[in-house]
Amino acid sequence: MPEQAVTAQSEDFSRWYNEIVYRADLAAPSPVRGCVIIKPYGYEVWEGIKAGLDRRFKATGHQNAYFPLFIPESYIKREAEHVEGFSPELAVVTHAGGKELEEPLVVRPTSETVIGEAFSDWIQSYRDLPLLINQWANVVRWELRTRPFLRTAEFLWQEGHTAHATHDDAEAETMQMLDIYAEFAHDDAAIPVIKGEKSRLERFAGALRTYTIEAMMRDKRALQSGTSHNLGQNFAKAFDIRYLAESNQQEYCWTTSWGLSTRMVGAVVMAHGDDKGLRLPPVLAPHQVVIVPIYRRDAQRGAVMETVERLRLTLVEAGIRVHVDLREGQSPGFKFNDWEMRGVPLRLEVGPKDVEKDSAVLARRDRLGRAGKSFVPQAGIAAAAEELLAAIQRSLLEDARQFRDEHIQDARSYSELREVIETGDWARAAWAGSDADELQVKEQTGATIRCFPFDAGASSPCVKTGKPAERVALFAKAY
């Protein structure tokens, strides 16, 4: 019996998303509320994200390390704004080994505190700076409303932590890492993002400034996809991270932190997926090409499989990630639909007629039906596949960019802003409002300031207060 069709995005985007995550085999439900099991296919997408980022981190001088999952509660309390920001989400261990602990341990929500303590030991002199550390880890934030990959009680991420001699050095690091996130999103995930600074209300707890990359999903909601924080000297003073300067004076370090999580898997699903399932960008796809052998009789099997294996080896030698679907008892049509659901960029079909003609059929996932099919000679299969994979990567990026740009509207008054948000679009507006004004916008529209984009300045009055505005804000409903 065929599987029931997926809920259309236009009918219920949230339901569509949950169905895709599970039907495409990215994840499975967990016995622990608010958590998910990341299945091999979903984890391979995450591994692609990790590889793309880790390569960039190491190219800019960062080293990987690992710090404890458990953090003494007293560490969290040392930075007042930090503990206030995270206290509702903390998971705390009070008993272990059959007895009550002398001091409760917080399950890592983020590692500024424990890494700050280590930095205070490791840094003695200006010669120890900059200290550039990254950690790949899991964290726990006890969320009440959860959704696979987007918001779960436990998730995977990387968190970078660095220490510098000056504010300017820390700021340069913060911006460099934001640029790396934006480059990765654009080049690897095929997601166009907007770089900008967060408002004070949306700033990371304890940070001097927070910068973000914001992406638009197919339901027009915003997704904060990566953040980079200039922590100033707040954590350095809380954890006594000091160095002996060349002037022979003790100075506090300037620190940063930055992170991107498995939320990016959800971003790939929601930025590119359609009513047939995933559409994975080739750079991140676990399988870039899936080969589906087609034959009706056993007498045809030998010649077809011989050709399939030859083509597989040719593609592998070209550096293409290939999977051959050898499942018995499933029709080619079932397999086509299954791999469309899983978002494999290219499908290679090989049947008896293709063997006779020394040809093969390549079908693009981003263009279904006849428009996405091409008949290519077997001798040129690698070059044809490489060309199509590059075209698919560009096409997904352009589709996402066009969709985003069509749904960002300029608002020149508060009434216009409210009207834009009511349609589900993002509103771009001059802003000079207070925290109270920002909260009022959220209460009245459900939208928040996603960021103050770097590439937008204002010379018009604030849409809320009418005061002269120097910055433009992007307002949107968000995940």
Closest CA to 136 of 153, 120, 155: 155
244 in Cβ contact with 129 (< 8 Å): no
Closest CA to 461 of 419, 425, 416, 422: 416
**β-pairing verdict for 92-96 and 242-244:** unpaired
Single-letter residue type at 224 = Q
Cβ partners under 8 Å of residue 55, min gap 6:
none
451 in Cβ contact with 476 (< 8 Å): no
How is residue 280 written in tokens?
Answer: 């994975």
Per-residue pLDDT tens over the stretch 183-204: 999 999 999 999 999 999 999 9
pLDDT at position 78 = 82
Residue 295 has pLDDT above 80, yes or no: yes
Is the peptide bond prior to 130 cis by the omega test (within 30 degrees of 0)? yes
Per-residue pLDDT tens over the stretch 106-127: 999 999 999 999 999 999 999 9
163 in Cβ contact with 261 (< 8 Å): no
Closest CA to 266 of 426, 367, 156: 156
Residue 89 has pLDDT above 90, yes or no: no
Range 355-377 average pLDDT: 95
pLDDT at position 5 = 81
Q: What average pLDDT does the chain have?
A: 95
pLDDT at position 406 = 98
Residue 3 has pLDDT above 60, yes or no: no
Range 133-143 average pLDDT: 95
Closest CA to 226 of 255, 203, 256, 195: 195
What percent of the chain is helix, strand and coil (3-state, nearest 5)? 40, 30, 35
The 3-class secondary structure across 98-159, one letter per residue, is CEEEEEEEEECCCCHHHHHHHHHHHCCEHHHCCEEEEEEEEEECCCCCCECCCECCEEEEEE
Closest CA to 13 of 341, 263, 266: 266
Buried b (16+ CB within 10 A) or exposed e, 282-293: bbbbbbbbbbbb
Closest CA to 85 of 73, 94, 76: 76
Taking the alpha carbons at both ends of the chain, their separation in whole angstroms is 36
- pTM for this model (two decimals): 0.95
Residue 79 has pLDDT above 90, yes or no: no
CB atoms within 10 A of CB 441: 24
pLDDT at position 76 = 87
Return the half-sphere exposure (C-beta side, CA atoms, 13 A cut-off) of residue 211. Answer: 26
pLDDT at position 80 = 65
pLDDT at position 317 = 98
What domains appear along the chain, each with residue ranges and CATH number? 13-272 (3.30.930.10), 289-391 (3.40.50.800), 409-476 (3.30.110.30)
Cα angle for residues 473, 477, 478 (degrees, 5° grid): 100
Residue 4 has pLDDT above 70, yes or no: no
pLDDT level of residue 1 (50, 70, 90 thresholds): very low
Residue 37 has pLDDT above 70, yes or no: yes
How is residue 384 written in tokens?
Answer: 């044809």
Closest CA to 223 of 176, 171, 261, 183: 261
Range 60-81 average pLDDT: 91
pLDDT at position 87 = 74
Q: Which uninterrupted H or E stretch holds 63?
A: strand 63-64
Task: Give the whole-angstrom CA distance, residue 360 versus residue 350.
Answer: 6
Closest CA to 65 of 140, 119, 129: 119
Task: Give the whole-angstrom CA distance, residue 303 versus residue 40.
Answer: 32
Residue 161 has pLDDT above 80, yes or no: yes
Percentage of the chain modeled with pLDDT above 70: 98
Task: Give the whole-angstrom CA distance, residue 138 versus residue 272.
Answer: 26
